[in-house]
Structure 1
């Protein structure tokens, strides 16, 4: 509204010819994904399903939409099942590898070595926390968030169990607060090159004249916003803890 030229109108040959075509596009292209989102998130918010079960609700909703669009064919279902099996196999292999790593790491006393290393740095609990978040941020350039969690948490857990930030965050609230800090930090892994998922989604859109270098430059403000959010959550824990306390969690 302030600078309309920043969001120019569609070309006449691309825009709907009349209101009937516009509403047709809305019902065919906009309403179905919104319905699916509401179905999945609504089932969680209203307590009808756990987040895991909501995945099944979403799959059921997707089947309904495919049937409504007359795309529910045996070949489509077979392709979906095969790809789902491959993704699940990949995830379970990651879980198996991470579990084996964690077991060997602790069996060899790796957690004691890491805890002693951080103690000898002499940077205090705040410095250790900053260093942890920095490690996660850097790993986000090269790893998916699942791998980061499964690799990092076994290493950091012994340190987290002994950390005390005094009056800044109560010991009983520390793990909840740290989990949100970690989640906000991990959001950057979707944007940071060279392996950020969102970068490849944008590249997959195949926008004429837009190269990977343009996308890398374009994500910088958004990464800065994520880091500002991380700093705010770190400095003001009540941003995270207010709602759980209100709900008595």
Structure 2
């Protein structure tokens, strides 16, 4: 009950924050800020991915989703022609990048929830520090995958286009 209550309050707080933030024009401000950075479209996406990685070090994934998606998604849709995609393709591509970034959060210290779950089922002699060190190659692989999908969007778009 405590965990569910905490999650519900987290969601209520994040939704309230996003609602008020958008009501006072924060979403439009952030969108214009991203679009006027003077970066290429891919540079803007890289900045967004870096922001998500930083947020993943100290925030819960639900809050990250509720706070950043309403701001980042319209920017990516605006940049779609510059990225060589349609708006629908850009939505799918960004969604996959977003989920891959959140997966990195699940393993990365200091909060990596997957590491704590693993510690709960590991033998007593395995320390949390050993687990954090052991997941570093997997984090590197996930970052490599994220970079590949950013550089070659067709990796993420192949199956949706095949099904369409």
Instruction: Provide the TM-score with structure 1 as the length reference.
Output: 0.60
Separation in structure 2 between the aligned mates of residue 200 and residue 134 of structure 1, nearest angstrom = 24
Which of 1 and 2 has greater Rg? 1
Contact 1:199 1:216 in 2 (8 A): yes
Aligned 1:108-127 pairs, distance under 5 A: 108-127=24-43
Matched, 1:209 2:125: yes
Q: Which runs of 5+ in 1 are unaligned?
A: 1-82
Aligned CA distance change for structure 1 residues 149 and 166 (closer, same or farther; 3 Å)? same
| Residue range with higher mean Cα deviation, 187-196 or 154-163 | 154-163
Offset of 1:212 from its aligned partner?
A: 1.9
Q: Which residue of 1 aligns with 2:47?
A: 131
Q: Which runs of 5+ in 2 are unaligned?
A: none
Separation in structure 1 between the aligned mates of residue 103 and residue 141 of structure 2, nearest angstrom = 11
Contact 1:137 1:189 in 2 (8 A): yes
Bigger helix share: 2
Q: Which has the higher contact order (CA 8 A, sep 6+)?
A: 2
Contact 2:41 2:83 in 1 (8 A): no
Aligned 1:1-249 pairs, distance under 5 A: 83=1, 86-166=2-82, 168-248=84-164
Offset of 1:107 from its aligned partner?
A: 1.3
Offset of 1:166 from its aligned partner?
A: 3.3
Contact 1:139 1:148 in 2 (8 A): yes
